[in-house]
Amino acid sequence: MAVDVIVSEVGPRDGLQSIDQLLDLETKKRWITAEAAAGVTEIEVGSFVNYRLLPQMSDTAALVEHARQIEGLAVAVLVPNLRGASAAIEAGASKISIPVSASETHSLNNVRRTHAQMIDEVRNIRAAINQLPAAEQPYFEAGIATAFGCTLEGHVSLSTVQRLAEQLLEAGAEEVGLSDTTGFANPAMIKNRIRAVHNTVGRDKLTGVHLHNTRGLGLTNAFAALDEGITTLDSSLAGLGGCPFAPGASGNIVTEDLVFMLESMGLNTGIDIDALVAVRSILESALPAEPLYGFIPDASVPLGWSDIRAEHAVAN
C-alpha cells in the first residue's frame, strides 16, 4: 500500500544537536535501524557542520554510510554551506537540505551570512551536484527557516518568504520547505502561507514542513498543513530536541503522536506504531537525563482503533 504521508524523522539531527550529552555512534545506528524497521522511510541522520561547535554531529558521515545500507530508506542530512554539501555528497546522502533563514537577522546570527550569500551558496551546491552522474545526484532542498516568525526580528513578512522561495529555486534547489523554527506558527498562518507559496512557485515545489511544538500547536499546524496538500512532515522521536539558535524555542513534534494522528485519520504512514514506541527504549537507556515526550506511549491507542480508522477510510 502506498504511503499517504512521509513522516521524516529528524531526531538524530534536530533532537541530538540540542542536548548536552553525546550519543555514541553505535547507539545512533541502532536507533536509525530500529526506526527504519518500524516503517519510517526518511531519516535525517545528522548534519555536516563545524564539529567544534556541534560535536554531537561529528559522526554524520559514518551514519550516512550505515543508513545507506537500509533498503528503501531516504537518508537525509542538513548542511549549512557548500563545504557541508561536499561532505554530504562524498558520504552518499540521498537528500541534502540547507536551511536558509527568512529572517536575515537570524541568518546573520546563525551562520553569519546574508540572504544573497546564502543564495550564492545554494547556487554553488547545485553546481557541485551537477558534476555527479544523474543517478548519483542527491535530492536538494532548501528549508526556509523562521518562515513564520523570528525570536529576534519578530514578524517575518509573507512576501519575504515568497521571494526567498523563488530565489532559492532559481538558484538550483529542487524544492523549498517551510520551517517554524521558533514555534510562532498557528494553523491559519500555516494554511495561508503554504497556499501563498504554492501560488508563487507551484505545489510540487513545496511538499514538506518542519514544525515545532513550542506553543502546543505542533500537531494542529501539521493537520492544517496536510489540508493544504503537504505530504512530508518532520518530527522527532519522543520530541527530543529543538533549535539551539532560536532562544526560547524548543520541541519538535513527537513522532509517535504524529503517526497516531495520521493513522487515526485513515492515512497510511507505513509505520507500525507499537514498533515505533518500542524504539524509545533505546533513548531511555542511552539518554537517561533527557525528558521524553509524547501522549501515545502513555495513553496507547484507543480501544476499537481499527474501527475508528476504518470509519474515516469509508468517509473519504
Which residues of this chain interact with a second copy, rule CB under 8 A? 149-151, 153-155, 158, 182-184, 186-189, 192, 213-217, 219-220, 222-224, 248, 254, 257, 260-261, 264-266, 294-296, 299, 302-304, 307-308, 311-312, 315
Q: Which is nearer to a second copy, 139 or 305 (CB)?
A: 305
The torsion region of residue 2 among left (phi > 0), alpha (psi -120 to 50) and beta comes to beta
Q: Which is nearer to a second copy, 98 or 189 (CB)?
A: 189
HSE value, Cβ hemisphere, 13 Å, CA-based, for 303 = 0
Neighbours of 301 (CB within 10 A): 16
Q: Which is nearer to a second copy, 86 or 186 (CB)?
A: 186
Q: Of 237, 249, 229, which is closest to residue 290 (Cα–Cα)? A: 237
Whether 103 and 152 have beta carbons less than 8 Å apart is answered as yes
243, 254, 262, 273: the active-site residue: 243
Tell me how far apart the alpha carbons of residues 50 and 230 are, in angstroms, rounded to a whole number.
Answer: 32
Neighbours of 158 (CB within 10 A): 17
Least gap, CB of 162 to a second copy (angstroms): 13
C-alpha cell at 278: 518500542
Q: Which is nearer to a second copy, 70 or 265 (CB)?
A: 265
Q: Which is nearer to a second copy, 96 or 224 (CB)?
A: 224
* 243 included as an active-site residue: yes
C-alpha cell at 117: 550569500
DSSP-derived letter for residue 15 is I
Give the active site residues: 243
